[in-house]
Amino acid sequence: MLLCACTTPPDGLGLTGDGASSPFPSRESLDEDGYVDVSAALSDIDVDLPTDRVRWRRGFSPAQLFVVRLDGVDASALPEWRNPDPSQSSVFLVDLTSGLQLPAMAELDAYPDQADPALLIRPLQGLIPGHDVAVVITTDVAPRPERFDALARGKGPTELSRETRELLDDLEDYGVDPDGVALAWSVPIEDGLVPLRSALDVRDAADVSWSFDDVRTGEDADPQAWRSAGGTLTVTGVLGEDGMLALDSATGSVSRTGTWETDLFVPIPEGVEDAPAGSVPVVIFGHGIFGSPDRYFNSESGDAVPSIARDGGVILVGIPWRGLSRADLGLAAGVAADIGTIPELTGRLAQSQVAIRQLAEAIRGGDLLDAPIFQGASGQSLPSRERLSYFGISLGGIEGTLFTGLGAPVDQSVLHVPGSMWSTMLERSSNFTLLEGPLVVRVTDPWDRQRLYAWTQLHWDQADPMCAAVTWPADAAPILLQESLHDEQVPNLTTRAMARTLHLGRAGLVTEPAWGIESIPTPTEPGTSAWVQHDPEKPAPEDSNRPAEVTLAHDTPRHWPAVQTQILRFLDDAVVEHPCGDAPCTASTAGE
């Protein structure tokens, strides 16, 4: 039964009585010209926020987190992420442009000791830029707020009341019973990659150069390498003196700022030094969070990557994913203490996208492979010029998906334990334990923090593969998404949301099927993209938005021979095989 408002509510109280702050974001965070203006919605939070840096946007993120305060929420009625069928759900999204209902999960903020936790609503499929999307909460979850009921009955501010009634009418046209709606609101969705696309557009091949000043051969080389080389790659710079993207806040365009330098690492594996000229494949490598390529190449992060390079006979080339590399630990800690500086972190990740694109171009069409370090024992040029692949782990899988989806000149990409939707991914990650403490000290109210997390997604977009997944080009290189079941660093829900958005099939047998991802035959046809699952047989993380306990589920599968076989096969011919016979790939079946 709907609640009745007997008086006309005063103006300026938004949909729930909390103004623009709840729900957030909503259309009340758009100015009169339709541009994003979150200043009013976040003005009560005592943090200096660069809200002008998203003023170019005319909508919100394809991975947008929505937060709202509602009385009387029945937590048992909220849809969980493993089975988010919108036709059976009490909270869902409706694409008002296409008419499709979209999967979402909802949860109460699990930060301890809260009397009135925020309701958090997370899309489990990417939202399409240029479309309007409605968030729908049914009366199975909570009673209709008095304020919203008044607006639905034509009371309150004329424009807001009209919009509310029109939205309920539209939802009814799409099969949603308006009498069963506790709260609904809509927002436009914007392409969050406008700055990154602009940064890639201003890159200049004349800026690119490299040098190698640390070359070690034989016993001095890294484990399982015949030769190891380290040096510097110089590329087009797009960061300003403040460390942020040189951004025009009115248009979202980015300017060239000179050149930028980053580290460059190349191990040439044992066993290829006598290979015929032009026969050794080249693979760009992407490292995990707070890591660096050299830590993988020298076995500080385990022997899996050197073993894959040696067994596959491939030359790896890596640069750091600056922003979240080992060298950026101080930056990440600074952002945790002052969340308003997050554009510095995401700006470095965008700069790294420029760098890795120019690295790929220097390999594919430039003369980087002519460097003396690529010569074999007889002076022959070892690298194959015929193809180039990408292999990324964790952060390298996340950013590598974005790299691939933006048209990288690679033939295939293996993306090991990747995810998406940064504002959703981080809170659940075991890595967030390092960052949450300083943030809690600075922003003490959990409600304020959740609104800030939702705001940060507007900045994360330039480093979020979900923003590429919703506009994935037909000619993008095929990808293999490898999930580790119960991953404590990259939540499975964020990997599956990306696979679902990309319409990937499930290749091989799995321990836990994923909603909306259908089985496809293996081995696949060459060039078929797919999602696969590996089960390290570790306990599932707590199903809440709290940092997971460390179980090593994230790190374990890449060390299995079967998984390494799957990686090498896809890097070779873009075929996905199921290497564990008639059983799922688990710690018991894939080989330790």
Instruction: Work out the number of other CB atoms within 10 angstroms of the CB of residue 342.
Output: 25
Distances (CA, A) of 181 to 97, 103, 135, 172, 413: 20, 17, 10, 10, 43
Q: What is the CA radius of gyration of the chain?
A: 25
pLDDT in tens, the chain (592 residues): 333 333 333 445 889 989 899 999 999 999 999 999 999 999 999 999 999 999 999 999 999 999 999 999 999 999 999 999 999 999 999 999 999 999 999 999 999 999 999 999 999 999 999 999 999 999 999 999 999 999 999 887 888 999 999 999 999 999 999 999 999 999 999 999 999 999 999 999 999 999 999 999 999 999 999 999 999 999 999 999 999 999 999 999 999 999 999 999 999 999 999 999 999 999 999 999 999 999 999 999 999 999 999 999 999 999 999 999 999 999 999 999 999 999 999 999 999 999 999 999 999 999 999 999 999 999 999 999 999 999 999 999 999 999 999 999 999 999 999 999 999 999 999 999 989 999 999 999 999 999 999 999 999 999 999 999 999 999 999 999 999 999 999 999 999 999 999 999 999 999 999 999 999 999 999 999 999 999 999 999 999 999 999 999 999 999 999 999 999 999 999 999 999 999 999 999 987 6
Q: Give CA 102 to chain center in angstroms.
A: 19
Give residue 155's pLDDT. Answer: 87
Identify the CA nearest to 299 among candidates 559, 577, 562. 559
Can you tell me which residue has the tokens 């203006």?
37
Q: Are 61 and 188 in contact (CB under 8 A)?
A: no
Identify the CA nearest to 418 among candidates 394, 402, 401, 400. 394
Domain architecture of the chain: domains with CATH? 19-188 (no CATH), 194-586 (3.40.50.1820)
At 114, list the tokens: 């809260």
Contacts of 255 (CB under 8 A, 6+ apart): 202, 238, 246, 248
Identify the CA nearest to 578 among candidates 498, 491, 505. 505
Identify the CA nearest to 310 among candidates 345, 283, 343, 278. 283
Give residue 157's pLDDT. Answer: 82
Identify the CA nearest to 589 among candidates 562, 554, 556, 552. 562
Angle value at C-alpha 130, between 124 and 131, nearest 5 degrees:
55
Give residue 4's pLDDT. Answer: 37
Contacts of 407 (CB under 8 A, 6+ apart): 473, 475, 476
The letter for the amino acid at 292 is: S
Residue 393 and residue 557: Cα distance in Å, rounded? 11
Distances (CA, A) of 591 to 262, 337, 579: 37, 43, 10
DSSP code for 124 = S
| Helix, coil or strand: residue 234 | strand
Residue 411 and residue 568: Cα distance in Å, rounded? 14
Strand order in the sheet with 66-68: 66-68, 119-123, 104-108
Question: φ, ψ for residue 328 (rounded to 5)?
Answer: -105, 15
Give residue 382's pLDDT. Answer: 98
Give residue 12's pLDDT. Answer: 55
Question: φ, ψ for residue 231 (rounded to 5)?
Answer: -170, -150
Can you tell me which residue has the tokens 């199921």?
578
E-state strands within 427-478 = none
DSSP code for 223 = T
Distances (CA, A) of 448 to 69, 87, 325, 423, 424: 11, 32, 28, 14, 16
Q: Are 146 and 5 in contact (CB under 8 A)?
A: yes
Question: φ, ψ for residue 138 (rounded to 5)?
Answer: -90, 170
